[in-house]
Amino acid sequence: MSDWVDPPAFPWLYPYIDDGPRLDQVVQRPVVPTALVGPSNEVGDGLYALVDSGCSHVLAAPWVADAVGVDPGRSDRTLRLGIGGSTVSVRFVDLRVRLLAPGGTDDEFVEWSTEVGFLDEWRPTFPMILGQRGFLDEFTVTTSQFARMTAVEAREEFDHRFGVPPAQG
C-alpha cells in the first residue's frame, strides 16, 4: 500500500518528454519524475522514469543502486528478461519508490515499497522504467500521445470511472 506524503490532489498530469532524435525524429515519451529510497540514501534529482506498460517490473540503471546504497549482486532474486532485443539477467532489491508531484517540490510525493530490478548494462535513455508490477498496479495511469500527457490517479479511479469491480488475484 502507498504512503501519501502531503501530495496535491490527483490527477497528476505530466507532459511527455522529448527523446532523441531517433532516425532524424524526436520521439515523445511518457516520463515522470521519481526518486528511490534505499537503506543509506535517496536519489531523486534528475531520476526520470519511462512509463512502460510493456515492461513487467520497475527497472533501474546500475548507478542508481550504488547511489541508494544497495548491492544487487548480493540478491538471490534473479530473473532473465527480454529487453531491447536481448535477454539480460536482472537482480531484484526491495526499495521505496517515490513519484514526485508535477511542478511540485521534492517534499510533494507519494511513496510505496516494491522490488526494483537492476541490470549490469543499461541502454535505455532514462535511468528508470516503471512497469506493470510496482507502478501500474499502484495507480490508474493514462497516457495520451494525442495530448502528449500522462495522467496518474488513485488506483481505484478506473473502477469508479467505468463501474467495473477490481480484478481478483
**For residues 119 and 93, what is the distance between their CA atoms, to the nearest angstrom?**
11
pTM: 0.91
- CB neighbours (10 Å) of residue 17? 19
pLDDT (mean) for 8-15 = 95
- Does residue 108 lie in a domain region? yes
**For residues 48 and 58, what is the distance between their CA atoms, to the nearest angstrom?**
13
Of 117, 90, 112, whose CA–CA distance to 35 is shortest?
112
Dihedral sign computed on CA atoms, order 161, 115, 89, 33: positive
pLDDT > 70? residue 4? no
The string of pLDDT tens digits covering residues 75-105 is 999 999 988 788 999 999 999 999 999 987 7
- Does residue 168 lie in a domain region? no
The string of pLDDT tens digits covering residues 21-53 is 888 899 999 999 999 999 878 887 679 999 999
Domain that residue 126 falls in: 3-155
CATH number of the domain where residue 132 is located:
2.40.70.10
pLDDT attached to residue 6: 63
- Does residue 81 lie in a domain region? yes
Of 67, 19, 17, 55, whose CA–CA distance to 135 is shortest?
55
- Does residue 90 lie in a domain region? yes
* The three grid cell numbers given for residue 160, joined into one nine-digit string: 469508479
- Does residue 163 lie in a domain region? no
Domain count along the chain = 1
**For residues 42 and 70, what is the distance between their CA atoms, to the nearest angstrom?**
11
